[in-house]
Amino acid sequence: MDLDAAVADIDLVSMAFWARPPAERLAAFARLRALDHPVFFTEPRVPLVRAGRGFHALVRHADVAEAGRNAKVFSSEPAATSPEPPPWISLVFGTPMVNMDDPRHARLRRIVSRAFSPKMLTRLERDIETTAARIVDDVVHAGAGDFVEQVAARLPIHVICAMMGIPHELRPRVLGHIDAMTAYSGVRGSLTSARTLRLLGANLKAIVELHRLVARLGRQRMREPREDLVSALVNANVEGEALSVRELGSFFDLLLVAGNETTRNALAHGLKLFTDHPDQRALLLSDYDRRAAGAIEELIRYVSPIIQFRRTLTREYELGGHAFAAGDKVVLFYISANRDKAVFAEPDVFDITRSPNPHLGFGGPGPHLCLGANLARMELKIMFRELFGRLPDVRAVGEPRWLLSSFDNGIRRLPFASVR
Ligand code: HEM
């Protein structure tokens, strides 16, 4: 049997593949990693989305890391997602920096890094602690329910709204728009055209509303700057750099897309993992402050909340045993790189003491490395400290309902109970 025939049953572009149980998908990636070259997949047509030409799947840690690091060859333009959004999306809503190369990307990243400075994070820390305490108060009161709705979904969105200075009275509206955006991105590609179109329509309307809301806030802060992030972003710094109101809208979308679903899924997976691995939970709780940082890195490695991002080659290049041509697409499967036994001993073991832990869950070591990684780490650390500190017996009590997606490794529902 030739090598590719050994993996002919693996179809990474079919939603049927992503509907398979997580362990089966991981076993499929292990078989792809064993090949001596990346496999090509042809993309199906998705309504209103540009037909893809297909891509090679990068599945080994070394290949994914190199593609992330070498951004001159592995470009994030015209888009780092797969399938690729049609060009009119960028024309109407602007281009998020995740879909840009340097120097355009570097300019935006320099400006928005103000949002993630140690000073900003310290300011947010107290806010996160208060919110986490309030969420756990509600959990103590409820005793049981759905962990995603009652815990995991609440913290990240609150943090992003707090960062952007969205007034409290506007937050329910913002949440409604975000739900519309999530409903579309979570199920894309798996639906009949009519339903996809309806969800897409609601998604676009939500983006327009969010842009309007943030643009209004941006214009206010240009007129009357305050001590908040939006003021810092729209008013020029000493180098004369600032975001335009349109760029501000695009940045807010990116925060919502990048920082909401990801952290929510990491929290939900965390409860599941610390239920399934009582030894690791006992170890964590035996000395939380010392163990938490390692536990969070291992959680991100083991789960890979973001399954993949894409790149387009700018020139001929050889990687992982394949000669690529300019214009070829590759998809960087972070979820596979994080289980590569060439880098991680016993990669399928969840071990919170793993060290070193050079996982790629926050992306490769290149210009697009997750800007919110430290914020996400802080949210996870505070939430689990509050939760396990006050409810040491809180646990998942049923199977998760998985999100059907080839992008977010998501959990939609997770029954939990706590014993006081
Ligand atoms: C567990 C949580 C998170 C995970 C697993 C995660 C993962 C990732 C990954 C894999 C990338 C790389 C994109 C690429 O390859 O092109 C990325 C980029 C990014 N993330 Fe995160 N992320 C998380 C949380 C957050 C949070 C909380 C924020 C902000 C509120 C955030 C903001 C961003 C931004 C702005 C980028 C784009 C960076 C650039 O293009 O320069 N992320 N993230």
Nearest CA to ligand 1 atom 19: 370
Nearest CA to ligand 1 atom 20: 370
Nearest CA to ligand 1 atom 17: 370
Contact predicate 53/329, CB 8 Å:
yes
Task: Tell me how far the alpha carbon of residue 289 lies from the centroid of ligand 1, in angstroms.
Answer: 25
Residue-level pLDDT at 420: 56
Contact predicate 23/417, CB 8 Å:
no
Of residues 118 and 71, more confidence is placed in 71
Residue-level pLDDT at 172: 78
Of residues 7 and 370, more confidence is placed in 370
Kindly give the interhelix angle for 373-390 and 278-286, rounded to the nearest 10 degrees: 90
Position in ligand 1 atom list of the atom nearest CA 80: 16
Cα 194 from Cα 199, distance rounded (Å): 9
Average pLDDT over residues 357-366: 96
Residue found by looking up tokens 């959004």 in the block: 85
Residue found by looking up tokens 């990801």 in the block: 262
**Nearest one of 415, 386, 375, 378 to 135, comparing CA atoms:** 386
Residue-level pLDDT at 294: 98
Three-state secondary-structure class, residue 168 = helix
- For 306, the token pair is 């973001």
Name the pLDDT band for 115 (thresholds 50, 70, 90).
confident
Range from 120-124, 206-210, 275-279 carrying the lowest mean pLDDT: 206-210
Residue-level pLDDT at 46: 64
pLDDT tens, position by position, 214-263: 888 889 999 998 878 888 889 887 678 888 888 888 888 888 878 888 99
Residue-level pLDDT at 214: 87
Nearest CA to ligand 1 atom 24: 259
Task: Tell me how far the alpha carbon of residue 142 lies from the centroid of ligand 1, in angstroms.
Answer: 32
Average pLDDT over residues 329-337: 97
Name the pLDDT band for 188 (thresholds 50, 70, 90).
very low
pLDDT tens, position by position, 286-308: 999 999 999 999 999 999 999 99
Q: Which range has highest mean pLDDT (10-14, 118-122, 379-383)? A: 379-383
Task: Tell me how far the alpha carbon of residue 158 lies from the centroid of ligand 1, in angstroms.
Answer: 17
Beta-bridge mates of residue 40: 56
Residue-level pLDDT at 207: 82
Is the pLDDT score of 191 beyond 60? no
DSSP for 28-65?
Answer: HHHHHHHSSSPPEEPPPP-TTSPPP--EEEE-SHHHHH
Cα 291 from Cα 54, distance rounded (Å): 42
- We report the CATH number of the domain holding residue 232 as 1.10.630.10
Q: Which of 370, 371, 383, 405 to mutate to test the pocket of ligand 1 (most atoms within 8 A of CB)?
A: 370
Residue-level pLDDT at 229: 83
Task: Tell me how far the alpha carbon of residue 380 lies from the centroid of ligand 1, in angstroms.
Answer: 15
Nearest CA to ligand 1 atom 26: 259
Name the pLDDT band for 5 (thresholds 50, 70, 90).
confident
Task: Tell me how far the alpha carbon of residue 363 lies from the centroid of ligand 1, in angstroms.
Answer: 7
Average pLDDT over residues 343-371: 97
Nearest CA to ligand 1 atom 6: 362
Cα 167 from Cα 161, distance rounded (Å): 8
| Residue partners of 385: CB distance under 8 A and separation at least 6 | 132, 288, 292
Q: Ligand 1: residues whose CB is within 6 Å?
A: 76, 80, 97-98, 109, 160, 254-255, 258-259, 262-263, 266, 300, 305-306, 309, 334, 361-363, 367-368, 370-372, 375-376
Task: Tell me how far the alpha carbon of residue 258 lies from the centroid of ligand 1, in angstroms.
Answer: 5
Count the domains in the chain. 1
Percent of the chain with pLDDT strictly greater than 70: 94
Residue type, 171: R
Nearest CA to ligand 1 atom 41: 368
Task: Tell me how far the alpha carbon of residue 263 lies from the centroid of ligand 1, in angstroms.
Answer: 10
pLDDT tens, position by position, 120-154: 899 899 999 999 999 999 999 999 999 999 999 99
pLDDT tens, position by position, 16-75: 999 999 999 999 999 999 999 999 998 876 655 665 779 999 999 999 999 999 999 999
Cα 229 from Cα 163, distance rounded (Å): 7
Pairing of β 55-58 and β 40-41: antiparallel
Three-state secondary-structure class, residue 210 = helix
Task: Tell me how far the alpha carbon of residue 306 lies from the centroid of ligand 1, in angstroms.
Answer: 9
Q: What angle do CA 31, 338, 114 make, to 5 degrees?
A: 145
Task: Tell me how far the alpha carbon of residue 48 lies from the centroid of ligand 1, in angstroms.
Answer: 26
Range from 63-67, 114-118, 165-169, 260-264 carrying the lowest mean pLDDT: 165-169
Residue 62, domain extent: 4-417
Nearest CA to ligand 1 atom 37: 98
Is the pLDDT score of 187 beyond 60? no
Position in ligand 1 atom list of the atom nearest CA 98: 40
Task: Tell me how far the alpha carbon of residue 255 lies from the centroid of ligand 1, in angstroms.
Answer: 8
Position in ligand 1 atom list of the atom nearest CA 360: 10
DSSP class of residue 149 equals: I
Cα 288 from Cα 283, distance rounded (Å): 8
